[in-house]
Structure 1
Amino acid sequence: MPFGPVALFGSGETSRAGRQVHERLFQRLPQPVRVAILETPAGFQPNAGLVAAKIRDFLVEHLQNYHPVVRFVPARRRDGVYNPDAPLVVEPIDWADYLFAGPGSPTYMIRCLTGTQTLARLRERWAAGATLAFASAAAIAVGRYALPVYEIYKVGADLYWADGLDMLGALGLRLAIMPHWNNREGGAELDTSHCFMGVERFRYLRRMLPPDTVILGIDEQTACIIDPQNEQVTVHGLGQVTLLTQAGERTIPHGRAFPLAWLRADPVLP
C-alpha cells in the first residue's frame, strides 16, 4: 500500500477553511473516522491537554457527518507517564486512520520525538496508508530542516536551522516548511512575514540552507495536501503556497494543483 496523504496547514486548522481541508481527507477514510491527536508540540505547556481538546472539539462539532472518534497521544516529554516510548502513549497511533499534530514549538517536538517509538509508529502507519495532518509548529518540525521560531523571534538567538524530523524524506523531499508565510501581525512597524522572520532575516536564513533544499511557504488560512499515490499536491484555503528552489520561485494559488516533483530537489519550474 502506498503512503497516505499528508496535509500541511499554514494556519487555520480550526477555521472554516481548515474544516474544508479536514473534510477532503475524511472523505477518503472509513466511518467513523478514527483520529489521534499528538500532544507533543505543546507538551511543554501546562495546558497541553486543553490545546489538544480544542482541536478534538472542533473536529467533532464541525465534521459530524463523519462521526469522528478522537483519542490523544500524550507524548509530552521523554520521562514519566508521558514518555513517547511508553506503550500506552503510543497505542492510539496504531488505532487511528487520521493522525494530527499542530501548534506549539517545532524544536520541542523534534527533541521529544527523535528516536522514539511514537515517531517510528507515525512513520509506519503513514507508510501503511494512514493520513497525516500537520499544522503550524508541527508542519515546521516534519521538514528536513526546521526553523527555530521561538528561539529567534522571541529569545533573540542567532539565525540557524535545526535538523527536522524529515518525515517527508521518504518521498524524496528535502523540505524547509514555513507556515505563516504571509503573516502580518507586526503591522506597519514590524515585518512578520515568512513565518515571523521578515524578508530581511529570511534572506540570510535562505543562504544558510543546503542548495538542494526546497522551501515551502504556506500562507495563513491555507493548506496543501500531498497525495503520494497520484504524485500531486493541491492547494486549499484562502491563500497560496510559495516554492523556492535553485531553479527559482513559484507561487500556486488556492484551488490549483501541481506535480509532487516540484517539491523535489532541483525541479524545473515552468
Structure 2
Amino acid sequence: MRPGPPSVSASGSEGRARPGKIVLFGSGEIAPSGRRGHAVAMADFEPPVKVAVLETPAGFELNSARVAGRVADFIRERLGEFRPRVLVLPARKRGTPFSPDDPHLVAPLLEADYIFMGPGSPTYAIRQLQGSVAWRYLVARHRQGAALGLASAAAIAVSAWALPVYEIYKAGHDPHWVRGLDLFGDFGLQLAIVSHWNNREGGEEVDTRRCFMGRERFEAMRRFLPPEVVILGIDEHTMAVFDFQKGSVEVLGLGQVTILRGREVREVGAGDAFPIEWLGEVRLPPPIEVVPPPGAPGFPRPVLPPEVAALIREREAARRRRDWATADALRERLRAMGYEVQDTREGPRWRPLDDPTAPWQPLEETPSHASG
C-alpha cells in the first residue's frame, strides 16, 4: 500500500525562492515559431535542463501519449543547446493507474526545471487537475523557481474563468464559462486566457476567431464574466512570457496579444512588452515546500551505454596492472564520449560530464540496456 499524498506548506524562506517564468502559447508549441518560447523558459537553468511534459489535458484521447510525445521530441531535437532531459508524465485520468493523484507517478515534477502542458480539452484538464497531487506539485515547483509552458487548452485551463471550447463549439452547449484552475489568482490576477485568438480555420464560411467561438458570439459572452476578470487573448503562433522578476510580459512569435479590461482594449505586438500591472494589481505569493512520499521516483538516472561500461572496466584492469599510461588514455577517451570517472576503494564510479551535479554511480549498479 502506497503512502498518502505529500505534505505541502508555505516556506519560511520568504525572499529566497522566486516564481519562475510562465510562457503562454496561443498555438505553435511544436512549430518553428514556438521554439523561442521554450528557449526563453529554459534559459534560466544550467544544462542539462530537466523538462517534464504533463499529458493530462489530452488524457481522454486515445493517442494522448503521442500528443505529449511530439512536444517531448520537439524539445529534445530543437533545443539541444540546453541538453534537455525530457520526461513525459502520463497522468491521464483520476481513478486509473495513470492518475494525477498518484504522488509516485508525478513526483518528477518536484525536480523539473521546466514543466509543460499543452493541447487537449480545457474542461477535461480542469476536472482532472483541480485539487490533484499533480497540480499541487506543479504550483509548488513554480513557486520555487521552475518555469511553466502552457499551450492551447492548458493555457485556457489555468484561467480563473475558462472557456469550454469543445462543449460550445462541438457539442452545441449554450455559451458559458467555467471555473478554471486559477493559476494566477495567488498573484492577485483574475484572468480569462483565450488562446487561438485570431484563428481563421473556418475561412470565409465560419468565423473561428476567439478560439472558435466567433467574434460576435464571444463579445456576447463577455457579459457573463465577473467585472474584475481581465481577458488575455493570444494569437496563433504567439507567446506571452510572464517574468515576475521584471514585472513584465513579453510578446514573442508572429502575432499579438489583446487585453480586454472593462471597456479598455490594448494590443501588444511581437517584440514588445508590457507591465504585468496592465492585468491587475500583482503580488508575489510565498514559496511552497513539498515533502514527497518516501521512495517517490525523480528523473530517471542516465543509462550507461554498454560500450562506455566496457571502457571503464578496461581502464580499471589497466590500473590494476599499474599501466597508468593506458588508464590515462582511456580516461581521456571516456571524457571525449561525455563521461568522467572517479576512482574509489570500492571501484570506479561514473557520471555524465555535462551534469556535474549528478551523483557518482557505481559501475555495478548501472542500469543495463534491454537486449534484443
Aligned letter for 1:47? N
Q: TM-score, normalised by structure 2?
A: 0.70
Task: Verify the 8 A CA contact 1:18 1:221 in the aligned structure 2.
Answer: yes
In structure 2, what is the equivalent of residue 87 of structure 1? Answer: 103
Q: Which residue of 1 aligns with 2:13?
A: none
Corresponding position of 2:53: 37
The CA RMSD over aligned residues, in Å, is: 1.1
Query: Can you list the C-alpha shifts for 1:148-203, whole angstroms capped at 9, x where unaligned?
Result: 00000000000110100001112111000001000000011110001111111001
SS at match of 2:126: helix
Matches within 5 A, 1:1-270: 1-264=17-280
- Local SS of the residue matching 1:59: helix
Task: Give the drift of 1:73.
Answer: 1.9
**Cα distance per residue 1:195-226 (max 9 Å; x no partner):** 11111100111010001100000000000100
1:104-136 CA distance string (max 9 Å, x none): 000000000111111111110011111001000
Query: Of the two structures, which has the highest relative contact order with CA contacts closer than 8 Å and spacing of 6 or more?
Result: 1
Distance in structure 2 (CA, Å) of the matches to 1:8 and 1:121? 19
The residue matched to 1:2 in structure 2 has which SS?
coil
CA distance in 1, matches of 2:99, 2:111: 18
Would the alpha carbon gap of residues 205 and 168 (structure 1) be closer, same or farther in structure 2, given more than 3 Å must change?
Answer: same
Q: Which has more helix, going by share of residues?
A: 1
Would you say the 8 A contact 1:35–1:100 is kept in 2?
A: yes
Which amino acid in structure 2 is aligned with residue 264 of structure 1? G
**Identity of matched residues, %:** 52
CA distance in 2, matches of 1:52, 1:11: 14
Instruction: Map Cα deviations across residues 233-270 of structure 1 (whole Å, 9 max, x no partner).
Output: 0000000000000151000000001000011169xxxx
In structure 1, the partner of 2:302 is none
1:72–1:92 CA contact under 8 A, matched in 2: no
| Structure with bigger gyration radius | 2
Higher mean alpha-carbon deviation, 151-160 vs 20-29, is at: 20-29
CA distance in 2, matches of 1:176, 1:254: 20
Cα separation, 1, equivalents of 2:71 and 2:146: 19
Aligned-pair CA distance for 1:88: 2.0
Q: TM-score under structure 1 normalisation? A: 0.97
Aligned-residue offset at 1:25: 1.8
Contact persistence 1:214–1:265 (CA under 8 A): no
Distance (whole Å) between structure 1 residues aligned to residue 165 and residue 82 of structure 2: 35
Q: What SS does the corresponding residue of 2:259 show, helix, strand or coil?
A: strand
Query: Is residue 216–residue 243 contact of structure 1 (8 Å, CA) maintained in 2?
Result: yes
CA contact (8 A) 1:174 1:265 kept: no
